[in-house]
Amino acid sequence: MPKTSAVIFLFDVDNTLLDNDSVQSYLKDHLADAYGVSARDRYWDILEALRSELGYVDYLGALERFRVEELHRPDVLRMSNWLVDYPFADRLYPGALGVLKHVQQWGPVVILSDGDAVFQPRKVERSGLWRAVDDRVLIYIHKECELEYVERLYPANHYVLIDDKLRILAAVKKIWGERVTTVFAKQGHYAFDPKILAENPPADIELAKISDLLNCDLATVLKKR
């Protein structure tokens, strides 16, 4: 039975610790340069359709479907190399690793992300985040639906959830209530979507950027509204 911690910090990855919007922008540019604009647009259409079908972004699954359509175009086979070898460490937000080290003085840090079972772990590994949290990595399809298992693996009296998606923060707050402090990292396109902002209550704490946590002490982080 895992030891119960006083507080555990749960960090999202995409657009919380890592600038995933920039990764997608670089990917679009690469696809257009290497394979043409029509190939880029078709791949992206497949990617979005697959996102709606699965509930998460599946870059490699979309590539497999694209490949079926372009079966006699051998250059397409190299698309996967760009994806799996991407230097994700270069896309970490300034101060991201420092933030993980900073909060670990107060309690264990766990990566809690959504994603597929191949590309998302690769991203966490190559970015250096896996090592930074001492192998405490959880990746689900819908993490807000897996809180029971988060508690079993990493029991705590209190949780701090840091995420760029206000919808997820609100969903977790509804389940855990006062057992969680929600921290809204206002980074990435989801964080500024007016529809999402209008439909969800504010988080307990809002940060303009993830590095702002470096200026917080534990009492500030645990502050309730």
Sign of CA dihedral 182, 183, 188, 194: positive
Mean pLDDT value across residues 134-148: 96
Tokens of 37: 């604009």
How high is the pLDDT of residue 212?
Answer: 96
Residues 177-222 pLDDT 10s: 999 999 999 999 999 999 999 999 999 999 999 999 999 999 888 8
Tokens 């992206």 found at:
44
Q: What is the 3-state secondary structure (H, E, C) of the chain?
A: CCCCEEEEEEECCECCCECHHHHHHHHHHHHHHHHCHHHHHHHHHHHHHHHHHHCCCCHHHHHHHHHHHCCCCHHHHHHHHHHHCCCHHHHECCCHHHHHHHHCCCCCEEEEEECCCCHHHHHHHHCCHHHHCCCCEEEECCHHHCHHHHHHHCCEEEEEEEECCHHHHHHHHHHHHHHEEEEEECCCHHHHCHHHHHHCCCCCEEECCHHHHHHCCHHHHCCCC
Residues 35-83 pLDDT 10s: 999 999 999 999 999 999 988 889 999 999 999 998 788 888 888 889 8
Is the pTM of the predicted complex or chain greater than 0.85? yes
Q: d(Cα 108, Cα 154) in Å, to the nearest integer? A: 9
pLDDT range class, residue 93, cuts 50, 70, 90: very high
How high is the pLDDT of residue 158?
Answer: 96
How high is the pLDDT of residue 138?
Answer: 98
pLDDT range class, residue 225, cuts 50, 70, 90: very low
Mean pLDDT value across residues 165-182: 96
- Least trusted range by pLDDT, from 6-20, 67-81, 90-104, 130-144: 67-81
Tokens of 182: 């929600």
Architecture of domain 21-88: Orthogonal Bundle (1.10)
Average pLDDT, rounded, for the chain? 93
Q: d(Cα 83, Cα 80) in Å, to the nearest integer? A: 5
Is the pLDDT at 96 greater than 60? The verdict is yes
Tokens of 66: 């694209």
Is the pLDDT at 127 greater than 80? The verdict is yes
Domain ranges of the chain: 5-19+92-221, 21-88
Architecture of domain 5-19+92-221: 3-Layer(aba) Sandwich (3.40)
